[in-house]
Structure 1
């Protein structure tokens, strides 16, 4: 399946997606889901079911998968319809869509798409690279966490994992770190794109090697350009 075609499909529907950013629902964890999230998910699911019907879908906005039996050699499509929903519903442009495809436990293709910034990274495609001294941080950090940061670096907190990880992959950040932990759909596209583009990638303190991650826990990650 070529994710270039899926990105084009989402791009065609961008006006309809943006019209739904004010239609939001608060979830049990106090975060928001918007009807824009759900429209993006419907577009992705329709495309995946047509092109990879035997793959199991893992998505942030589907019913809880906690009781599922996971197969590390299985075939899955891991999606985050809109990462950075708080940004999206607040009218900010820093939100993104993430997709990772695994077949028989092996990574096939990943994509990060930032629609309103018109920026996309897909497995196999080149990226413009930068040099930076900025360290990106996750928005989950507390005031106490921030007060303990070393003062020798430039820091940014954007509130969108896809934006942050892509920034590290292309070198716009020297480093991005999530110390609190993120779900698999938040990080798999960035982890795999990071490996492809020569970044140092760690998950829970160990070098990441492209393996499947499941929604059984949250993962602490570091991506260094």
Structure 2
């Protein structure tokens, strides 16, 4: 990770350790097999680091609470917009206190679909990209998985195609998206 990632990660660790005794899983530290506590945090201190460094607004901080079996809580903060997205399993999804939900659009021809910026790295995902581009209204590549999760959970974007996404990028967003009425699947 970059210096920005490490600095933000250290701040996140200090804040979480002060009040909670759960271990922390992050890009910089530990694998899930090394976690010994029943519950643990999954942190991505800055998702969209290149956007942040370049002065673009689409980046965020992602924190999830998980057990070995499931994700229990997700929080994503988008600092540029001062938007806090959060969800607790079975309790709904919210942005700054307001309940959010995914788009009701089921028509691919009217859909805005976001893509992972690594979509071109393997033939299968590139072929999927080409098919969806031809079938949907429009596509976006915004450079931050957690930002995209927030857009989908709040109904601004209809879907996203991920490619080789790490648990740090989707742990918090998955809970938020599920609680907003969305669905994550593979193909």
TM superposition score normalised by structure 2: 0.77
Which residue does 1:112 correspond to in 2? Answer: 76
Secondary structure, in 3 states, of the residue corresponding to 2:169? helix
Higher relative contact order (CA 8 A, sep 6+): 2
**Gapped runs of 5+ residues in structure 1?**
1-32, 206-225
Distance 1:161 1:121 in 2: 14
Distance 2:46 2:38 in 1: 25
Q: Confirm or deny that 1:139 pairs with 2:117.
A: yes
Which residue does 1:65 correspond to in 2? Answer: 31
Which residue does 1:85 correspond to in 2? Answer: 49
Q: Confirm or deny that 1:99 pairs with 2:83.
A: no
Match of 2:7 among 32, 36, 39: 39
Query: By how many angstroms is 1:181 displaced?
Result: 1.8
Distance 2:65 2:19 in 1: 12
**Gapped runs of 5+ residues in structure 2?**
106-110
Q: Which runs of 4+ in 1 moved over 4 A?
A: 103-106, 128-132
Query: By how many angstroms is 1:42 displaced?
Result: 1.5
CA-based RMSD of the aligned residues comes to 2.5
Alignment of 1:199-214 (within 5 A): 199-202=182-185, 204-205=186-187
Indicate the structure with greater helix content: 2
Aligned length: 167
Distance 1:172 1:199 in 2: 13
Distance 1:199 1:129 in 2: 8
